[in-house]
Structure formats: structure tokens, C-alpha cells
Structure 1
Amino acid sequence: MAQVCSSGIEMLEVCVETVDGIAAAVSGGADRIELCSALALGGITPPHALIRQAALAPIAVHLLARPRDGNFRYAAGEAALVAEDIRDAAQAGLDGVVIGASDASGALDATLLSAWVAHARAEGEKRRRPLSLTLHRAFDLCPDLLDAMETAIALGFDRILTSGGQPRAVDALDTLSALVARAKNRIIILPGSGVDAANVSAILATGAREVHASCRSAAGGASEAEQRFGFQNGPAMHTDVAKVSALCTQLRRHETLNSTNI
């Protein structure tokens, strides 16, 4: 079994969309996987077969429950799909789910999220093991991030995946610092988007102790026929075990320095 990159102080979550991605995240030393498909679209719910395969991984796996790309305002039918995804994650033996929803103003849809959280808790009780709950980057579209964080805390989320309201987390260090400071250990702030070995030290300086990254590299271009038929658009991407390992090395280094300075 691969050694995880931290001893509980700092953690790396890697988002993956393939069986090979699961293996690369584990081999590189990730602590947790966010399982999805279509990362090029920000991630949507993966197929059942991939969920079952991910359940065999030796590290924690959280399922992204997002029924489509685009905005996070969901009609009743789409909301029901997310509820089914939550049930599927629990029944497959996964460790958590990643969910989010917006209302017409761009703020969190607290009513819908409350229903999903209650559903997740009920599914956890059925299997006698709770589902960890992550609020995804619908949070970053909220007009007031500090207010949205308080809503997430009141709803019972365990963590918030956020880039601090900017496309890349490294461009929102002040906001991330403010979120971590206001959270006061009531909820975990999980910075993500554009996180890599070169900038993770700056991101950890915000006080965050978990980070989220894709650790992807180009796997080669599509053939002319594949592009002509629309089977692929641009180069294929894959989870790069070397990037996972490099990020873990930086996390270990940061954790060692913190331990030495205590």
C-alpha cells in the first residue's frame, strides 16, 4: 500500500476521472481522492462502474455529485439525481460526497442543500458510518464568501472546496486566509484550483491544512480522425503520479518545518 503524504496535519486530495487516475493518486501518495468525470468541465458525477472501482482504493474516496456542467441551479429532477448519487456513494462504501447548489441570486441554496445533507446523514446511519460532506465550488460564485461559509457551517458541512472566489487559489491568498481565520476550526477550508508543488507553500501559509489538486499532465494529442469525429477536443490529460508525489513532498516538508518550529 502506498504511504500517504501526511500524518493527519496536512492532507492532499487529488481529483481523478479514470481508473488510471485512481492508481496514480494512490501511488503518488495522495491522502484522499475526489472522484468525478469530465474534469475539463469542472467535473460531473462519474459512472457507476468507476464508483465501484474507486471503492477498492486503499485511501478515502469522496464522490462529486454534479449532474451536469454549467451553473449550480437545479430543478427538481436534477436535485433528485444528486440525492441518488449520495445514496450510491453510501451504498458503494465511499467515504464522502461533494455537493453544492446556488439560488437565483448566486448565494447558496440553503433549502436544497439542507435536504441533501439530511439525506446524506440518513444514508450514513443506514450503513453505520457517516458520509463526510464537502461543499464544492458553487461556494466561489457566492456574493459574500464569509456569509456563505457561515451558511455551510450551519448546514453541517465538514469542509469547503474553494479557490477563494478567484479562478486560481493562489490568486486569492488574502481571502483564503480570512476564511481560515473566521472558520476557527468549525469547518475545514480546502483550497483548490491550480494548486501545485510550486505554489502550495504559499497556499498553506493561509493556515489551510488540506489542499486539492488535479496533478494532471498532457498525455498526447488526439489523432486527426478522433478530432474530426468529435471524440476528443485537444490533448488528452492524465493524473501524473510524479506531480502527485512532488506535491506530497512539499506537504511533508511544510509539515516537518511546522513541527520543528513548535
Structure 2
Amino acid sequence: MTLEIAVQGTSGARIALEEGADRIELCVALGETGGLTPSFGLIQMCAHVGVPQGVQALIRPRGGSFVFDADEKDVQLADVRSSILAGASGVVVGGLNADNTIDEPFARALITAARDEAQRCNRKVQVTFHRAFDMVPDQFAALDQLIDMGFTRVLTSGGAPTVPEGLGRLHDLVEHAAGRIEILAGGGLRPEGFQDAFNAGITELHLSAKRLMPSDGGPGGGGRQGFVERTDRELVRRAVEAARR
């Protein structure tokens, strides 16, 4: 079973490495927005940590809807290229049309940008479609689209609020994928739910192993009522142990 930990800083990447996680997804503002694009420097520093399967950089310019205008799409295409240049082994991307179907021209542009930059850097790249997938009305047709475009994996809770609630659909998606694309289960997942996920046929798990730490930034510091999110070492350790079982 492959375990991916969502982290928001270099210290989180080190915890993931030291506790035995396989891969990290790197983002910022996870709790407040669901995750936004990390900086070039942050990607570079986390890539140097040496997590076995590397850094998957989330590409998302803002919170809210996954329907993006032309300027937002251009920013994401540039961020895809700069993330790979910074050392990311993959990017986590996506976009939807107004009816919540996959924005296929944009998705194709994203995967082309990733592959072109990886070729320039003489590296291979993985491309994950993020949880915009959970808003798509026909997930099986959408999965076929992503397979046709050459996506490596899709991060999903099966369209449910959490993975435990979406296990039935996740099982069906794994069956439909038939090894043509990886199904990475993520959303509200805890170590105690890993066995049920495995029983549903899932072999890739995504965990946001974070906790809130007091950090008062004052009137201009933002944050969530004087707290910041940090990777929880004990939770990562328990997750790795559960995954290995």
C-alpha cells in the first residue's frame, strides 16, 4: 500500500521521510482553502529532503470553484512548468466546466505543459487529477477521459464527503480503472480506516496528517483564529504503521 502525506512545509516533508511515508503532496493554506500552489522555493527545499517517491506539487491559484478563467489557467500552466523546474516529481492539477464536467482542453494543456517541462529537465513526471473529480456527475466517463489523456492517478473520495463514506464508489472506480490509472483515496481518512479501504481494493492512500498549533499573527497575520497547521509526527507514524500492516 502506497501512503502519500499532504504537507505544507519542509519540516512536514522531513517528518514524512523519517516516519517512512512513500510520497508527499505539497501545498499551502490547506485547512483554509483545501490547498493552494506552494512557492518555487518551498518545492525546491522539499524536493531536497529526499522522500522516496518525491514531491507532488498542488497547482491551484485560489480556493472556491474549480472553474477557472483564462488568466487563472495561464497562471496554472506557468506554475506547472516552474514546479517541475523546482524539482517536483509530479503535479496535482485539474479544472471543470460550468456543468462540473472535466475541462478537457485545459486538462490536456496541463498535462502537455508538465511533460514538456519534464522533457526539458530530462526527468519523468507524474500528473494527478485532484479532487475537482469529486464534483463530476459521471465519474466513470470522467475516469475514461483522464485515462485517454494519460493522467497517472486521480485523487478522490468517490464523490462523498469522506473516503469512509465513499468506499462503495471507490471500489467501483478501482474496478473500472483496471490498472489503467491509479485511484488515490483521500479525504477524511484516518489510519483506523485503512483496512476498510484496502478491503475495497484501494492500494493508494492520501492523508492530511495535520494539527493546529497556537500562532498569533496579530491583526495582519491572518490564520485561523491564532493557529497554524503543522504536520503531526505521531499521526504520520500511526498511518505508516497501519499502511504497512
TM-score bucket of the superposed structures, by smaller chain: over 0.9
Once the two structures are superposed, residues 146-169 of structure 1 have per-residue CA deviations (whole angstroms, 9 ceiling, x without a partner) of: 111111111110100001101211
Moved more, 197-206 or 170-179: 197-206
Is residue 51 of structure 1 aligned with residue 43 of structure 2? yes
Q: State the 1:189 CA deviation.
A: 0.2
Q: Distance in 1 between matches of 2:224 and 2:190?
A: 24
Q: State the 1:230 CA deviation.
A: 5.3
217, 227, 238: which is aligned to 2:230?
Answer: 238
Once the two structures are superposed, residues 197-254 of structure 1 have per-residue CA deviations (whole angstroms, 9 ceiling, x without a partner) of: 111111121111110001112323x54xx4655522233321111111111111111x
Task: Tell me, yes or no, if the aligned pair for 1:27 and 1:241 is still in contact at 8 Å.
Answer: no
Task: Tell me, yes or no, if the aligned pair for 2:43 and 2:87 is still in contact at 8 Å.
Answer: no
Once the two structures are superposed, residues 2-43 of structure 1 have per-residue CA deviations (whole angstroms, 9 ceiling, x without a partner) of: xxxxxxxx1110111122211222222111010110001110
Task: Tell me, yes or no, if the aligned pair for 1:161 and 1:189 is still in contact at 8 Å.
Answer: yes
Structure 1 residue runs of 4 or more that deviate by more than 3 Å after TM superposition? 226-230
Aligned to 2:5: 14
Q: What one-letter code is carried by the residue in structure 1 that aligns with 2:18?
A: S
Q: Distance in 2 between matches of 1:131 and 1:14?
A: 18
Q: What one-letter code is carried by the residue in structure 2 that aligns with 1:11?
A: T
Q: Distance in 2 between matches of 1:24 and 1:243?
A: 10
Is residue 31 of structure 1 aligned with residue 22 of structure 2? yes
What are the residue-to-residue correspondences of 1:1-262 with 2, within 5 Å? Answer: 10-40=1-31, 41-59=33-51, 60-220=54-214, 222-223=215-216, 226=217, 228-229=219-220, 231-234=222-225, 235-253=227-245
Q: Distance in 1 between matches of 2:228 and 2:119?
A: 40
Q: Distance in 1 between matches of 2:228 and 2:85?
A: 31
Q: Percent identity?
A: 36
Secondary structure of the residue that 1:198 maps to in structure 2?
helix
Q: Distance in 2 between matches of 1:77 and 1:12?
A: 34
Q: Distance in 1 between matches of 2:139 and 2:212?
A: 33
Moved more, 208-217 or 132-141: 208-217
Q: What one-letter code is carried by the residue in structure 2 that aligns with 1:128?
A: N
Q: Distance in 1 between matches of 2:95 and 2:113?
A: 15
Secondary structure of the residue that 2:161 maps to in structure 1?
coil
Task: Tell me, yes or no, if the aligned pair for 1:227 and 1:233 is still in contact at 8 Å.
Answer: no
Q: What one-letter code is carried by the residue in structure 2 that aligns with 1:190?
A: L
Q: What one-letter code is carried by the residue in structure 2 that aligns with 1:231?
A: G
Once the two structures are superposed, residues 70-114 of structure 1 have per-residue CA deviations (whole angstroms, 9 ceiling, x without a partner) of: 111111111111111111122112100000100011011011101
Q: Distance in 2 between matches of 1:50 and 1:124?
A: 19
Q: Distance in 1 between matches of 2:124 and 2:148?
A: 18
Q: State the 1:194 CA deviation.
A: 1.3
Q: Distance in 2 between matches of 1:44 and 1:57?
A: 21
Unaligned runs of 5+ in 2: none
Task: Tell me, yes or no, if the aligned pair for 1:163 and 1:192 is still in contact at 8 Å.
Answer: yes
Q: Distance in 2 between matches of 1:157 and 1:196?
A: 26
Secondary structure of the residue that 2:191 maps to in structure 1?
coil
Aligned to 1:4: none
Greater Cα radius of gyration, structure 1 or 2: 1
Task: Tell me, yes or no, if the aligned pair for 1:215 and 1:240 is still in contact at 8 Å.
Answer: yes
Aligned to 1:260: none
Once the two structures are superposed, residues 160-202 of structure 1 have per-residue CA deviations (whole angstroms, 9 ceiling, x without a partner) of: 0001101211111100000001100000000001111111111
Unaligned runs of 5+ in 1: 1-9, 254-262
Q: TM-score, normalised by structure 1?
A: 0.88
Q: Distance in 1 between matches of 2:232 and 2:18?
A: 10
Number of matched pairs: 241
